[in-house]
Amino acid sequence: MVTPDPPATPGTPAQIYVIRHGEKPADPPPGKHAPPPSPPFGVDVDGNQNIHSLLPRGWQRSGALAVLFDPAIGALQAGLRTPTALYSPSYADPDKTQNHRTYQTIQGLSERLGVPIQSPVPEGQEPALAAAVLASGGEVVLICWEHQHIPALAQAIPTLDATTIPPRGQATDSTSSGPSLLTPPPDAMCSAKSLNNFCLATPTR
């Protein structure tokens, strides 16, 4: 059942998209004498090997995401809106943040739209991020976050009645492939936040 959208409160986003990062390198095996990592490797925007960066396929995903939300030809897919604010986690140092896969996944979209990526808080501070996003004044917000922390972020966003959030155990496994879309029908005012890789939240306003 779709709950009617109440009148907007100034500054509250109309929609919040949450996605996980694109494809990443395999996690290194534990232990001091573990073998060195093997291809495919994560690479930064300059092609340098980096264990925190996207795989080449993840960079392809980043480019596809940019076209999805800002198509060069034709209109947006039904139910999608172009983000006006972008967020990813902070990793303390700006260079580390920009070389991390969460930032890189939306880097192409950021450059295409001319919208900077904001990184106000690290992973683990999802309630603080939710509060910042809700007070940001952004009309349409896209957040790229680490998949294990997405359920906590979704729980921190107040949404319309009749939305449901799966338990933490149903979050996508880290080996899954990038952002897959779960988009609502064009006339929907809200959608259940079924957090596979992508969710759409219509906050209470």
pLDDT digits (tens, 9 = 90+) for 142-200: 999 998 898 898 888 876 655 555 444 343 333 333 333 333 333 322 333 333 334 55
Query: Which domains, and CATH codes, for the chain?
Result: 15-23+38-201 (3.40.50)
> What whole-number distance in Å separates Cα of residue 107 and Cα of residue 116?
9
Type and span of the H or E element at 48: none
Q: How far apart are CA 36 and CA 147, in angstroms?
A: 25
Mean pLDDT by 10 residues, the chain (205 residues): 38 85 85 78 93 94 93 87 95 94 96 96 95 88 92 82 49 34 32 39 46
